[in-house]
């Protein structure tokens, strides 16, 4: 038997939870028929909801033995919810999905078929359109992805989502990323493994409202930049070098003027030259400090040095399973 854990972070989702439950139950029954080897657990994470989410989860868990839940002491954010779900899931396969049906459960059988074959370790969806989103928001999102992919070694795919179907192996890899400031889009990509993207059109929420404000998203994107790039710390080096170059130009100007015009007043030029040289050097030194800081910062995350996908042992045992 193979256990599939379905992790659902919920924050104030009383309106959609019953809809989600009906929908996911249908898909689970359908999958059970096609794949008799599967059994399920539904793990809801109540992220300190202020509405009736917890009451709904309580009664669901009483009525349905496959339903588990973890309720946080306050709102810790979706990232914390996903981490708690991954840490507490027991499945051989794990899927993380939103409660608001924007991650359609109907994709699950297809996702399972990709991962089951062993060819892929992860199946996920990618939005190809941003329908139903304001122009300004789309513009900022696009700019963020462009910038992020320029300044970070970790590839962040535009339109990729947190709707992920993963093997236990990949989940264990993600759990090895202990960092407190979590940016899942980066983490999923950082751990590597073979990912299959399924493209689809954006779906709107059937009920309830998105808990992301524009500024919330903006802060989250900064989080992504600071968690996966140290480019901002190199900024001072760049400006410092630039200002030093300017002071060099001024110095040349100073010498040329002194030679060509013997009794010229050079005091202003000299002051400018010294000023720019000193401030350039200062910024440059701050930049060097920044470089050491960036190394220390990355070390402090204690990320794994490498992650294995396959060895001859796992390969042999998989071959054995296939026969
Ligand atoms: N969520 C959460 N904690 C939060 C905010 C959101 O667990 O602090 C959950 C929410 O219940 C939903 C998912 O994260 O299942 C995505 O949230 P939302 O639909 O508000 O985001 P959007 O789809 O607009 O990105
Ligand atoms: Mg949503």
**Alpha-carbon distances, residue 35 vs 40, 109, 166, 299 (angstroms):** 12, 9, 17, 44
Per-residue confidence (pLDDT) for residue 172, from 0 to 100: 94
Q: What is the mean pLDDT of residues 13-24?
A: 92
Per the structure, how many domains does the chain have? Answer: 2
Residue nearest to atom 2 of ligand 1 (CA): 78
Question: Is residue 314 located within the same domain as residue 292?
Answer: no
The pLDDT > 90 percentage for the chain reads: 48
Per-residue confidence (pLDDT) for residue 93, from 0 to 100: 95
What does the mean pLDDT of the chain come to?
89
Question: Is residue 112 located within the same domain as residue 17?
Answer: yes
Residue 170 in any domain: the answer is yes
The pLDDT > 70 percentage for the chain reads: 99
Residue 43 in any domain: the answer is yes
The ligand minimizing its distance to the Cα of 51 is 1
Residue 226 in any domain: the answer is no
Reported as a pLDDT band with limits 50, 70 and 90, residue 322 is low
Question: Is residue 176 located within the same domain as residue 249?
Answer: no
CB atoms near residue 264 (< 10 Å): 12
Question: Is residue 160 located within the same domain as residue 293?
Answer: no
99 C-alpha to ligand 2 centroid (Å): 8
Reported as a pLDDT band with limits 50, 70 and 90, residue 151 is confident
* Best CA proximity match to 97, nearest among 164, 160, 145: 164
Q: What is the mean pLDDT of residues 103-132?
A: 88
139 C-alpha to ligand 2 centroid (Å): 19
CATH number of 53's domain: 3.90.550.10
Q: 221-280, pLDDT tens digit by residue? A: 888 888 888 888 888 888 999 999 999 999 998 899 889 987 888 888 889 889 999 999
Question: Is residue 186 located within the same domain as residue 113?
Answer: yes
Q: Is the pLDDT of residue 203 over 80?
A: no
Per-residue confidence (pLDDT) for residue 44, from 0 to 100: 96
Per-residue confidence (pLDDT) for residue 231, from 0 to 100: 82
96 C-alpha to ligand 1 centroid (Å): 12
Q: Is the pLDDT of residue 20 over 60?
A: yes
Per-residue confidence (pLDDT) for residue 323, from 0 to 100: 54
Residue 270 in any domain: the answer is yes
Q: Is the pLDDT of residue 211 over 80?
A: no
Per-residue confidence (pLDDT) for residue 244, from 0 to 100: 92
Reported as a pLDDT band with limits 50, 70 and 90, residue 86 is very high
9 C-alpha to ligand 1 centroid (Å): 7
Residue to mutate (ligand 1; options 100, 159, 207, 216; most atoms within 8 A of CB): 100
The more confident residue out of 148 and 114 is: 114
Q: 289-313, pLDDT tens digit by residue? A: 988 988 898 888 899 999 988 889 8
Cα(142)–Cα(163) distance, rounded to whole angstroms?
Answer: 20
Question: Is residue 178 located within the same domain as residue 245?
Answer: no
Residue 44 in any domain: the answer is yes
Question: Is residue 92 located within the same domain as residue 196?
Answer: yes
The ligand minimizing its distance to the Cα of 7 is 1
Residue 40 in any domain: the answer is yes
Residue 52 in any domain: the answer is yes
Question: Is residue 190 located within the same domain as residue 294?
Answer: no
Per-residue confidence (pLDDT) for residue 40, from 0 to 100: 94
List own/partner pairs for 79-82 with CB under 8 A and 24 or more apart.
79/182, 79/183, 79/184, 80/47, 80/182, 81/9, 81/10, 81/11, 81/45, 81/47, 82/7, 82/9, 82/45, 82/162, 82/182, 82/184
47 C-alpha to ligand 2 centroid (Å): 15
Cα(214)–Cα(135) distance, rounded to whole angstroms?
Answer: 12
The ligand minimizing its distance to the Cα of 16 is 1
Global pTM value: 0.82
Question: Is residue 296 located within the same domain as residue 315?
Answer: no
Question: Is residue 58 located within the same domain as residue 161?
Answer: yes
Question: Is residue 169 located within the same domain as residue 99?
Answer: yes
Per-residue confidence (pLDDT) for residue 87, from 0 to 100: 95
Residue 147 in any domain: the answer is no
Q: Is the pLDDT of residue 112 over 90?
A: yes
- Provide the domain limits for residue 274: 231-301
Cβ < 6 A, ligand 1 pocket? 9-11, 13, 47, 75, 77-78, 81, 98-100, 102, 210-212
Cα(147)–Cα(304) distance, rounded to whole angstroms?
Answer: 26
Residue nearest to atom 8 of ligand 1 (CA): 77
Question: Is residue 82 located within the same domain as residue 179?
Answer: yes
Q: Is the pLDDT of residue 208 over 80?
A: no
- Which atom of ligand 1 is closest in space to residue 8's alpha carbon? 15
The ligand minimizing its distance to the Cα of 133 is 1
92 C-alpha to ligand 1 centroid (Å): 25
């Amino acid at each position: 038997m193979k256990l599939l854990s379905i992790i659902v972070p919920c924050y104030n989702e009383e309106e959609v939870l019953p809809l989600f439950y009906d929908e996911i139950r249908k898909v689970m029954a359908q999958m059970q028929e096609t794949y008799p080897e599967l059994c399920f657990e539904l793990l809801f994470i109540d992220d300190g909801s202020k509405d009736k989410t917890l009451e709904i989860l309580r009664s669901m868990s009483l009525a349905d033995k496959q339903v588990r839940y973890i309720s946080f002491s306050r709102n810790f954010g979706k990232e914390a919810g996903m981490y708690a779900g991954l840490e507490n899931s027991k499945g051989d396969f794990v899927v993380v999905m939103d409660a608001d049906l924007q991650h359609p459960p109907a994709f699950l059988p297809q996702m399972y078929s990709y991962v089951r074959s062993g060819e892929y370790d992860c199946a996920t969806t990618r939005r190809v359109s941003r329908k139903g989103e304001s122009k300004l928001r789309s513009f900022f999102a696009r700019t963020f992805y462009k910038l992020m992919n320029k300044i970070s070694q970790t590839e962040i795919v535009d339109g990729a989502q947190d709707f992920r179907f993963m093997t236990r192996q990949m989940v264990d890899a993600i759990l090895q990323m202990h960092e407190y400031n979590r940016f899942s889009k980066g983490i999923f990509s950082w751990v590597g493994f073979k990912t299959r993207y399924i493209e689809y059109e954006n779906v709107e929420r059937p009920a309830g409202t998105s808990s992301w404000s524009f500024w919330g998203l903006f802060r989250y994107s900064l989080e992504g930049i600071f968690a996966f790039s140290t480019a901002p710390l190199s900024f001072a080096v760049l400006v410092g070098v630039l200002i030093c170059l300017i002071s060099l130009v001024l110095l040349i100007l100073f010498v040329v003027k002194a030679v060509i015009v013997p009794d010229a007043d050079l005091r202003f030029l000299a002051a400018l030259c010294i000023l720019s040289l000193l401030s350039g050097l200062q910024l440059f030194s701050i930049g060097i400090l920044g470089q050491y800081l960036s190394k220390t910062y990355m070390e402090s995350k204690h990320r794994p040095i490498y992650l294995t996908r396959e060895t001859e042992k796992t390969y042999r045992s998989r071959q054995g399973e296939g026969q």
